[in-house]
Amino acid sequence: MFVLATAGHVDHGKSTLLHRLTGMWPDRLDEERRRGLTIDLGFAWTEIGGRQLAFVDVPGHERFVANMLAGVGAVPAVLFVVAATEGWMPQSDEHLAALDALGVRHALVVISKADLADPGPAIEQARERLSATSLAGAPVAIGADLERVRAELLALTDRLPAPDPGADVRLWVDRSFTVRGAGTVVTGTLAAGTVRVGDELEHAGRRVTVRGLQSLGRDRAAVGPVARVALNLRGVDRQHIGRGDTVRTPGVWLDTAEVDVALRSAGALHRQLVLHVGSAAVPVQVRPLGPAAARLRLARPLPLRVGDVGLLRDPGEHRIAAGIKVLDVRPPALRRRGAARERAAQLATGAARPPACVRADELRAMGLPLAGQRVGDWVVDPEWWAGRRERATAAVRIWADEHDVAAGMPLETLRQRAGMPAAELLPKLLEGTGFQVADGVVRSPGAGLPARVDKAVRTVEEWLAAEPFRAPEADELAELKLGPRELAAAVRAGRLARIADGVVLGAGALERAAGVLAGLPQPFTVSDARRALGTTRRVAVPLLEQLDARRVTRRAPDGTRVVLATAAP
């Protein structure tokens, strides 16, 4: 299917031309038929040369330009009508300015009412006005010659770019209504992607289900692009969805309220304008960034991607202010002095640099290619990644110097100092640096004890060599300046073994104790163990509990224990 919109001044015969081509009156509303004036969007379709063509008929009156823009926003081609009786008129100008701002390149100009006046002047006017726009060179046909019009429409469809049926769905809603017995129905022009009955789509953060699907008045199981579609939705009330909303593939679109855009055919820009994109019309605040770019702050978020086109309009002056092309849907803050000037220079190239580090699904949602170095679920710029590795390793070394007995640098602290967006990236970042990531910290493998701690631990080791199970008392440790952090460092280094809080023995103490206890008559008591080990209850009780936990010993209900012959020390 091929979808075209009409354009042109009020009463130049757009609806009449469609009626002659399709046999259908596009006007839907009683008021439109009573007044003979198109007010809202109308729809008609036909088959020409074996091809299905659908038309979105738009109003030509200046009061209904917003409705016109909702009709052309998602349509790739246009049927531009100029009456021979009046020639080029003010709304001809405004419609052309809108199409030019949107960058529409495919059109057929039809001169209507040629039976009432010489079409020559209107043809010349149309060609002259189109010559400096995106529609330059569009062919011209006389409306009375329907065979020529049909032939030119077929030629126009040959020039249209092929849509992508596998793309993510984003249907801009141009109508919503309720059908008795069916529920909520929305319509729109499907520009890309494929919709199927039973699909789960997303609207306003909630899932909706396609319970029925029509295109050109017929039930369908699936419809691909480009096509006019009507979706019967389950999961949303008609009052909660309307023109300017979207239904889309879940989880792959980013709603954004601030975008950087390139400007096309820009005149004077006021700070308060209306952004038209798809079928949406949203007030925006405009911040110019040089002569050809601006930052837009939207009154409500929209699911936009890089490359989307739209236009800015001043409704008070009935003027198209500029066409826009989205360059960045996640632009950087402009808080520091000079940031806006730097951003303007970046955007002057007509493109914005993608984030240096971003999740792949976010990159897809932004409309950018997955170009860069893949790190798990992330895509990173290789130069940025290498710079962050240097920054991270330097941060770890500085931390180690300042915290010589710490277990390691906490990952969250390193994440902040290295400027990384997520701690999950740090293990990959530190690969090949020699640093180890474990238990939520980063440390150097085999790092020794500081000299002051090493000297104190040697003293304890000498005591334990003489009496292996007589743990130093608290005052003795304090005199050696071995606090909890120093003792923990000695345990991590494999120099001491922790038995309980403030109770340490030499490395291998548990294995040595198991050998001593195995020589006792079985079962044995805590007192038996204490005497055999030559220690106190302060040491014997937690030591036995650790042996129980390791299944070296087993405690009976009466409190006695046995050494398990099959247990390894």
Give pLDDT, residue 542.
94
Q: At what angle do helices 537-549 and 509-518 cross, to 10 degrees?
A: 90
Stated length of the chain? 569
Check: pTM over 0.95? Answer yes or no: no
Give the contacts of 258 (CB within 8 A, at least 6 positions apart). 295, 296, 297, 298, 331
Averaged pLDDT of the chain: 87
DSSP 425: G
Whole-angstrom distance, CA of residue 218 vs CA of residue 553: 79
Whole-angstrom distance, CA of residue 447 vs CA of residue 400: 10
Give pLDDT, residue 348.
85
For residue 161, give both structure tokens.
């770019």
Give pLDDT, residue 568.
45
Domain boundaries, the chain: 2-159, 170-248, 254-353, 382-443, 451-563
For residue 52, give both structure tokens.
């299905």
Whole-angstrom distance, CA of residue 8 vs CA of residue 25: 17
Whole-angstrom distance, CA of residue 421 vs CA of residue 126: 54
Task: Kindly list the distances between the CA atom of residue 95 and the CA atoms of 88, 102, 361, in Å, as whole numbers in the listed order.
Answer: 11, 11, 37
| Residue in the structure block whose two tokens are 């126009």 | 156
Closest CA to 237 of 203, 212, 261, 265: 203
Highest-scoring range by mean pLDDT, 34-43, 299-308, 311-320 = 299-308
Closest CA to 523 of 567, 566, 553: 553
pLDDT 10s digits, 52-84? 998 888 765 566 567 767 777 778 899 999 999
Give pLDDT, residue 27.
63
Cβ(162)–Cβ(106) under 8 Å? no
Peptide bond into 163 cis (omega under 30): no
Assigned fold of 451-563: Arc Repressor Mutant, subunit A (1.10.10)
Give pLDDT, residue 64.
55
Peptide bond into 226 cis (omega under 30): yes
**What values do phi and psi take at 366, rounded to 5?**
-80, -15
Domain 2-159 is found in CATH 3.40.50.300: yes
For residue 536, give both structure tokens.
């106190």
Q: What is the CATH number of domain 254-353?
A: 2.40.30.10
Residue 172 has pLDDT above 70, yes or no: yes
Whole-angstrom distance, CA of residue 290 vs CA of residue 71: 31
Cβ(250)–Cβ(365) under 8 Å? no
DSSP 350: S
Which of 2.40.30.10, 3.30.70.60, 2.30.30.140, 3.30.1490.70 would CATH assign to domain 170-248?
A: 2.40.30.10
Give pLDDT, residue 43.
85
Q: Can you name the residues that pair with 409 across neighbouring β-strands? A: 442
Give pLDDT, residue 567.
43
Q: Taking the CB of residue 148, how many other CB atoms lie within 10 A of it?
A: 15
Domains 170-248 and 254-353 equal at CATH topology level = yes
Cβ(171)–Cβ(141) under 8 Å? no
Residue 156 has pLDDT above 80, yes or no: yes
